[in-house]
Structure formats: C-alpha cells, structure tokens
Amino acid sequence: MVLCTGNSCRSQIAEGYLRYFVQDKAEIYSAGIETHGVNPKAVETMKEDEIDISQYTSNNIDEYRNINFDFVITVCDHAKENCPYFPTKAMTFHHNFQDPAKAVGTVEEINFAFKKVREEIKNYCENFIKENIL
C-alpha cells in the first residue's frame, strides 16, 4: 500500500513504478487520506516513461481496511502524520517526496518539477522492490 494525502500524484506514480518493478510477484495498491482524482500531469509524466496510469483511480484508505498489507509506504509527511489508524501487521516505510502538483512557474518549470519527482520516486521504488520483495 502506498499512501499519500490525496492519492492523486505521488502515490499514483509510486503505484505505477512498484507495479512495473514487481511485475506479478505482489499486489500493489495506493490510497489517500482524502481523494483528489488522478492528476493529469502525473499521467502525462508517467506516459513519458512508458507507464500508463491513466486508468488508475483515486481511492480512500478506508476502502482497504480489511486487507492485511505486508508493507505500507507513506510518500508525504502529511499522510504519515494524519493517516487514520487501521490495524495491520505491515512494515511501514516513509519517504517525503515534494509535491509536484504544487509547483509554480513556467510550463517548463512545472514539467521539470514533475519529472524530478518522478525520477526520485522511480529510484525509490526500484530499490524498495529489490530490497524487500525480490
């Protein structure tokens, strides 16, 4: 489970990369403590790396209360600090990625922010799978 505030950008990108790197060796989910819809810029940025997240949905953590996850990864400080408690034996991991959806500036600067965070999340996910799943 990848958890973020709105399940619109960082957690969606992480879900895409975790699915890519794990292939069929695990089930991957993402959710938010709120739902904001999947960010179109996240979809576009992932498409540049040939990963299609256009059919992903923005889900609330409450939808997954009955799943006993092995791992829960929070990808923003807000989610880590505000996630409602749900019973799990999951190992928890945390990495605070900047929110590219909050980037301001020119189109080029905003695109750069998305690509920078995408690459950070990609590297994190690849290492996570290598160290914990494979």
pLDDT digits (tens, 9 = 90+) for 119-134: 999 999 999 999 998 7
Residue 78 has, within 13 A of its CA and on its CB side, a CA count of: 12
Q: pLDDT of 59-111, one tens digit each?
A: 999 899 888 899 999 998 777 666 665 667 888 899 999 999 999 999 999 99
In this structure, what token pair is assigned to residue 58? 């923005």
Q: Catalytic residue positions?
A: 4, 76, 83
> Using N-to-C axis directions, what is the helix angle for 107-132 and 10-22, rounded to 10°?
40
Those residues whose C-beta lies under 8 Å from the C-beta of residue 22, and which sit 6 or more positions away, are: 28, 129, 133, 134
- The dihedral built from the CA positions of residue 120, 121, 124 and 127, taken in this order, carries a sign that is negative
Q: Which residue has the tokens 């494979």?
A: 134
Q: What is the model's pLDDT at position 84?
A: 60
Distance CA 8, CA 3 (A): 10
Q: What is the model's pLDDT at position 82?
A: 67
Q: What is the model's pLDDT at position 90?
A: 85
pTM: 0.93
